[in-house]
Structure 1
């Protein structure tokens, strides 16, 4: 049985929807940002906290857990700057509690949801896993701390892990049953689609004078189902003993500018966006694009779905939103 921490959230729920096809799954989530309705009915759900040793021990005592997948971090960059205690408490201290309970119960396979924010603002065309990590905010630093802790636990306690550094997860399940629903919403594609549905007055584009082909920032978008499948392939590599301590980027390997994303949303929906150009945001790099060559070479994974598919699936979800 696989324990998915944070399985009611955006990425966690998409992982669970794919994972239940292959494994028995139990989800632990406190529903502070996740949605009960997003959890696949084939999974067992337990409401509880990653930082509660009692909640965790109850699960490990009652179910034969063979691996843990962790999606329960707070992830708003701006909030992490304003309230770093919240981020270090949940993302670092609570994860240490989880790892301690795992070690006590001899569960030594761990998939960690990390982030491109660990890289900071690298000045390279394609970001590879080997470049220097230099996060510029508490969110990125909290994720990097756990990556370093996992390295130490591997050496000291034999913990096996795969760290997956996401770039921009986007889209929705092709069934339109689950999708991206945050409060507040900070991600570009759902913000555009909400505006096209009349739920927002305008779309703010932060900076149009970057050193890019159209002046707007370029980012790497990956379909959330592709992301889920990468986790499953990483899990299989751990369970089969093919990997024991790896870090992989997850991205499309192709960047899209903010203007290109807006134009693709307009094309998919047939609607015209109300766009307002505004000042740059502090700390926004002009370009962040992943090289996912390592995970393709070692595990055979690559992103299959391009931007138009990402937006088409997201649009279907937003039109059919259930939670």
Structure 2
């Protein structure tokens, strides 16, 4: 089956959203981006897409859905910094949970049949086992993870009550940049490890903080499953096709490669790619950080037509570094 209408991408001027826009356009979909540019950049929106500067909770989103004949929503807009969610939880429940409730209400009112949600491995909290499967207990240890889990519950209940199916994609650690150099992580003050490391490699930082060296991991530092942002974007396109082809089904799927790297292993990879030695600044643990998050990705590999193409840590670093250098040129 085909989608007879446009895909609305919220947060499409941001990091992951802009890559999803590229993947959708490259696959032949028509796209309208909704973004209020609080953290996004209008120049990050591909010129093939329509763009509307509006917040997702604005009632005017209904007019956008109607005017652009939106038949699917990919929802990326929201706040994503775990330590900030601990210090300012109400911001996260407003931006991630309450705003998304308004967006879902607009989608239901306008009869949008398909909804794809940007969720997170933070919904699992401190996992009982690794790798983590979708059916494992959800016990978030920070407001960021809880705000996302609450949205998953909303979508479950809405899909039971209305003619809408959904797919919640639980991201593990997203990194890298478009291999063609069309987009990348551009947010000032980003907290992604690889982003911070390549900033250090290009002289924007004087080192990289290592938060926690006493975790029960192979070298004492936190272990994460890093997924290339372009692979993740292509997973969204495949998930959309699944929702269109099987309108009565909804899904929750982990997005990761099924293997993890420690903070020190990632920094070693950056050293190898750059032929530099990034200074490591050893510090205490941050609140809300579990020791290890690695995906059991067997479900997504079985459920959607998606095969990772960029499962290489040094390749992820190279793409991130190339974007960082391009961004430095852009900024002057």
Global fold match (TM > 0.5): yes
| Structure 2 counterpart of 1:106 | 111
Q: How many residue pairs end up in the alignment? A: 322
Match of residue 63, structure 2, among 58, 65, 72: 58
Q: Are 1:184 and 2:189 an aligned pair? A: yes
Matches within 5 A, 1:273-312: 273-305=278-310, 306-312=312-318
Runs of at least 5 residues in structure 1 that lack an aligned partner in the other structure: none
2:225 is paired with a residue whose SS is strand
Q: Which moved more, 1:115-124 or 1:73-82?
A: 73-82
TM-score (norm 2): 0.94
Q: Deviations over 1:116-169 (max 9, x none)?
A: 010001131200000010011111111111100111111111220000000000
In the TM superposition, residue 303 of structure 1 has moved relative to its aligned partner by 2.5
**Contact 2:82–2:288 (Cα < 8 Å) also in 1:** no
| Structure 1 counterpart of 2:44 | 38
**Contact 1:226–1:303 (Cα < 8 Å) also in 2:** yes
In the TM superposition, residue 23 of structure 1 has moved relative to its aligned partner by 0.4
**Contact 2:83–2:288 (Cα < 8 Å) also in 1:** no
In the TM superposition, residue 242 of structure 1 has moved relative to its aligned partner by 6.2
Q: Deviations over 1:64-103 (max 9, x none)?
A: 1110110001111122222222211221111111111111
Q: Are 1:157 and 2:156 an aligned pair? A: no
Match of residue 124, structure 1, among 129, 147, 168: 129
**Contact 1:237–1:243 (Cα < 8 Å) also in 2:** no
Q: Which runs of 4+ in 1 moved over 6 A?
A: none
In the TM superposition, residue 243 of structure 1 has moved relative to its aligned partner by 6.2
Given the superposition, is the C-alpha separation of residues 317 and 243 from structure 1 closer, same or farther in structure 2, using an over 3 Å criterion? farther
Given the superposition, is the C-alpha separation of residues 243 and 180 from structure 1 closer, same or farther in structure 2, using an over 3 Å criterion? farther
1:66 is paired with a residue whose SS is strand
2:70 is paired with a residue whose SS is coil
Q: Are 1:239 and 2:247 an aligned pair? A: no
Q: Which moved more, 1:89-98 or 1:108-117?
A: 89-98
TM-score (norm 1): 0.96
Match of residue 319, structure 2, among 305, 313, 322: 313
1:151 is paired with a residue whose SS is helix
- The Cα RMSD (Å) is 1.3
Runs of at least 5 residues in structure 2 that lack an aligned partner in the other structure: 1-5
